[in-house]
Structure 1
Amino acid sequence: MIARGPGLSIFWQTLLLLLASIAVVFVVTVALFVWSPPPRPDFNSLSDIAEALSGRRIPRERSWKVLVVPRDEGRHLQLRPERPDFEERQRERRLSVVEHPAPPVPDRDMVSSPAFSIRLADRIGVPVDDVRLYFEPDQSSNLPFRTRGDRRVIVRRGEPLFFDTVVAGLRTESGWRVVRTPPRAWIAPWQKRALMLFGISLLVVIPFAWFFARALAKPIRRIADAADRMGANPQAPLITEEGPAELRVTAHALNRMQQRLSAYLTERTNMIGAIAHDLRTPLARIAFRIETAPDEMREKVQGDIEQMRAMIAATISFVRATGTVNRIEPVALDRLLGDLAAAEEEVGRPVALGPVEPVEVDGDPMALRRLFQNLVDNGVAYGGGVEIAVARHGDEAEIRISDRGPGLPERQLEAMFQPFERGEPSRNRATGGIGLGLSIARAIAQEHGGSLVLANRIGGGLEAICRLPIRS
């Protein structure tokens, strides 16, 4: 068990990230109020409408103040407008001008004012019957609810200001010249600035959130991988206790559970091995005492005794083979399987080597050789011969040992890995073993962090598929 230094708990890490995010948003909000100019309501004055209809500059009323301007030869008086004209600011909703054969028609909720129409006709210098002026009440579209009560227009220094849609027309020789306020933009410029600043704040927070999520997910992923390895092999290395406090507590609890599970399995395995070993003595006495029995009875009893001895030997071998992977080193599977196939061919067994990719795994060479030897023995015994192939699939090596035998029913494939389970139901030694070869093979594969399954081949036959993690 490896324990790292204490770290902040998930609660405090999450709280700090939340406080940092709030601080960033607060700074951006303050910057938005301090450095960004406040949005000014856009409007069109009566003079703007008159200029758009007439196509010429309309004189406007101005208030003036006296400024004293110093010069080299003395003081001079200069008149300057007290405030800049309304039209000098940058407009967001400039009036559009079109020629139309008919007079303008007001939109819904638009009203008209005779006083404003008279003033507009005076500004242009035409009869009042030659102009039309319709407008929405002062900012009615921005109110939370519409009212039919007091409909007013803001008048500043004698100049009516229209903040909402305005439609005006001027009779000309060819028809009517119509001006209209264009529709408001879906996002105003000041809203774009605010969204941009909040987007910048989001980009500032994202890296911190990413690092936090990565730092939190990394130990969780390691715990999940270690728990998966522990489920396959109780002798797997313990989990490193690191990360936030909650994850270190979880890793410690899993390590204690793994230690208890490993001790329990070791005790059970040793007990089974001891029982199997102790059964040899009474079997030897039975074999000695049966020597005086009649020949017919002696041969039958001797056959049972030999079968029991084989089962005991296989059980002891199974106990010794599981949980004993202690030497871990790089193993070249292509070389190991090539040597195994060559050794089988030397003794005349039908074992062929198919396509084999060079691949290395971490493991015990003797245990892995026993794993593949058991699979080859099963394939030769029940399928008449095998073919060995190795391929890479992502970060795993896939070893296929295939035969052309009769195969097995699908429901029986997983049951073959149970101890003492045989595809051939009789216990005759001449037709196979006692049913521990596949159990031992799967145990070795799991102890190496891999898996072993059986599958029927297309066209007939059975194949054992073993997957082992490739060496980093």
Structure 2
Amino acid sequence: MTSRLDRLNPSILTRIVALVAATLLLALGAMMLVAFRGPPPHSRPMMPGEAAALLQGAAAPAGSWTVTRYQSDPVPLVEPGQMEDRRGAAQVAALLGARADDVRLMRESPPMRMADPDREAWPRPNFGPDGMMLHGSFLLARRTTDGWQVVQARQGANGRWYAITLSLMAGIFILLLLPAYWVARRITQPIRQLADGAATERPERADPLPLTGPPEVRAVGAAYNHMRARIADYLGERTAMLVAIAHDLRTPMTRLSFRLEALPDGPRAKAQADVQEMRAMVTDLLDFMRGQGDGAAQVRIDLSAIVETLADDLADMGQDVAVTHSSRAVVRGDAVALRRCVANLIENAVRYGGSARIALATANGRATVTVEDDGPGVPEEAIERLCEPFYRGEASRNRETGGVGLGLSIARSIADSHGGRLDFGNRRADAGQGGLRASLTLPLER
């Protein structure tokens, strides 16, 4: 059963635009809420009556005003960034019942291009009975018999405004984080499945990708499934054609063997050797192409028994083959195919390196068969090509020094079909350990 969102199934563009629009609307709503319904960012301004009360010893008005009082002998001077407001001083003096010359008021200078408050042209809006408001910071001084009584006041920020603003920002962030993560996951999960499917070693054997997600991703998934099906059909046709050709070649080779019996002994032996080489090539080709198929039914197999049996058989034939370490490892697979895979690795080591040292170890749910030889090794640039069909590390095409070039290809194909992998690397020549190391890794049966 599909959900309502799956039935709607908006595109990636629509989802991103909707998320951005929701973000902008929530941010705009929060800004409007703070601007029109929240407290001001600063505490309210101070009225002249409240400033006059400070000179009479009253406490600072409610809010975030900071007031400092002190006594000064000389008259306070105007500091940089300040201006003297004689009109405001006269208004405070009138409220105190003092002379205008006995009161000084220094305020913050207005921004550039603004009129001087002392000028008659300065527009004075009606702010109430006091006629003005004090913002920012100011210094108010009154002459007394002992000098000047000074009051410095500074308007601070409104902590409540910051608390509300930061709380709204954090709430919007948390409110949008979960939907954004959900939308991003809905978009990226099908793309990740597509990437995983394309990264498989044998995509033509993998199951078709589920067509989920936005329409763009579903279109890409459908194209990938169609491509995978075409590759599988192409490989199937190629395999069937090569198997048929290789199989049909056996009949003329058999007739040719009978006809060679009429030749003299010398030429006949050489011709028979060529025919045997051709038969071996056809057999290897058939084994390689059969390895591209689905294989036989898989059963539980004791991998250590296969390794030890192969080593004993080759040692009995006079080959320098030995097992240096063996751990019991049970895997699931085709016993005949796995035996052929390990045998190809050992025979390759004996053919090119003169010996084979085999070790079987288990770790982290996987079994690893390592085959090492004492040969010259392989150039680093050629290691990746060792499993290419018909590629041989030995340059000549002599059957005495090498095969057709399908043995390692067959081994890798068998390893891939069992969910394992086949790796190659040169041993450490600087430590006196020359030669090639082949590692077959297979998952253990659970």
Q: Same fold (TM over 0.5)?
A: yes
Determine helix, strand or coil for the equivalent of 2:154. coil
Name the residue aligned to 2:195: 224
Matched residue count:
427
Unaligned runs of 5+ in 1: 58-86
1:27, 1:367 → 2: CA distance? 69
Quote the offset at 1:258 in angstroms. 0.8
Counterpart residue identity of residue 408, structure 2: L
Moved more, 457-466 or 261-270: 457-466
Give yes or no for contact 2:108–2:138 (8 Å, CA) kept in 1: yes
Quote the offset at 1:275 in angstroms. 1.5
Q: Percent identity?
A: 31
Name the residue aligned to 1:270: 240
2:352, 2:173 → 1: CA distance? 66
Q: How does 1:5-84 map to 2 (within 5 A)?
A: 8-11=9-12, 12-14=14-16, 17-18=19-20, 21=23, 24=26, 28=30, 36-37=38-39, 42-56=44-58
2:72, 2:420 → 1: CA distance? 82
Name the residue aligned to 1:135: 107
1:307, 1:264 → 2: CA distance? 29
1:24–1:178 distance in 2 versus 1, CA, 3 Å:
same
Give yes or no for contact 2:372–2:435 (8 Å, CA) kept in 1: yes
Aligned residue among 172, 181, 186 for 1:201: 172
1:19–1:125 distance in 2 versus 1, CA, 3 Å:
closer
1:363–1:233 distance in 2 versus 1, CA, 3 Å:
farther
Counterpart residue identity of residue 161, structure 1: M
1:368–1:404 distance in 2 versus 1, CA, 3 Å:
same
Give yes or no for contact 2:43–2:64 (8 Å, CA) kept in 1: no
Quote the offset at 1:104 in angstroms. 4.0
1:461 to 2:431 alignment: no
1:20, 1:357 → 2: CA distance? 60
Give yes or no for contact 2:310–2:343 (8 Å, CA) kept in 1: no
1:400, 1:99 → 2: CA distance? 93
Q: Tell me how large the CA RMSD over aligned residues is.
A: 3.9
Give yes or no for contact 1:165–1:182 (8 Å, CA) kept in 2: yes
1:317–1:189 distance in 2 versus 1, CA, 3 Å:
same
Give yes or no for contact 1:386–1:402 (8 Å, CA) kept in 2: yes
1:445–1:48 distance in 2 versus 1, CA, 3 Å:
farther
Q: How does 1:135-214 map to 2 (within 5 A)?
A: 135-136=107-108, 140=110, 146-148=113-115, 151=122, 155-158=127-130, 160-170=132-142, 178-182=150-154, 184-185=156-157, 189-214=160-185
1:38–1:222 distance in 2 versus 1, CA, 3 Å:
same
Q: How does 1:310-459 map to 2 (within 5 A)?
A: 310-325=280-295, 327=297, 335-336=302-303, 338-347=304-313, 348=315, 350-352=321-323, 354=325, 364=334, 366-383=336-353, 384-390=355-361, 400-448=370-418, 450-458=420-428, 459=431
Give yes or no for contact 1:235–1:323 (8 Å, CA) kept in 2: no
Quote the offset at 1:328 in angstroms. 5.8
Name the residue aligned to 1:60: none
Determine helix, strand or coil for the equivalent of 1:438. helix
Quote the offset at 1:7 in angstroms. 6.0
Deviations 1:183-206 (A, max 9, x none): 654x86324413312321221222
1:118 to 2:101 alignment: no
Aligned residue among 252, 263, 280 for 2:250: 280
1:373, 1:153 → 2: CA distance? 103
TM-score, normalising length: structure 2: 0.79
Deviations 1:309-361 (A, max 9, x none): 111111111111113246467x68xx42x22332134333634254869796x
Give yes or no for contact 1:111–1:136 (8 Å, CA) kept in 2: yes
1:15, 1:269 → 2: CA distance? 49
Counterpart residue identity of residue 107, structure 2: F
Determine helix, strand or coil for the equivalent of 1:424. coil
1:7–1:238 distance in 2 versus 1, CA, 3 Å:
farther
1:400, 1:183 → 2: CA distance? 79
Give yes or no for contact 2:203–2:228 (8 Å, CA) kept in 1: no
Quote the offset at 1:427 in angstroms. 4.0
1:26–1:129 distance in 2 versus 1, CA, 3 Å:
closer
TM-score, normalising length: structure 1: 0.75
Quote the offset at 1:218 in angstroms. 1.7
1:367–1:22 distance in 2 versus 1, CA, 3 Å:
farther
Deviations 1:78-101 (A, max 9, x none): xxxxxxxxx76x312333445667
Q: Which has the higher contact order (CA 8 A, sep 6+)?
A: 1
1:114, 1:409 → 2: CA distance? 94
1:328, 1:223 → 2: CA distance? 28
Give yes or no for contact 1:6–1:245 (8 Å, CA) kept in 2: no
2:198, 2:441 → 1: CA distance? 19
Counterpart residue identity of residue 247, structure 2: H
2:73, 2:347 → 1: CA distance? 100
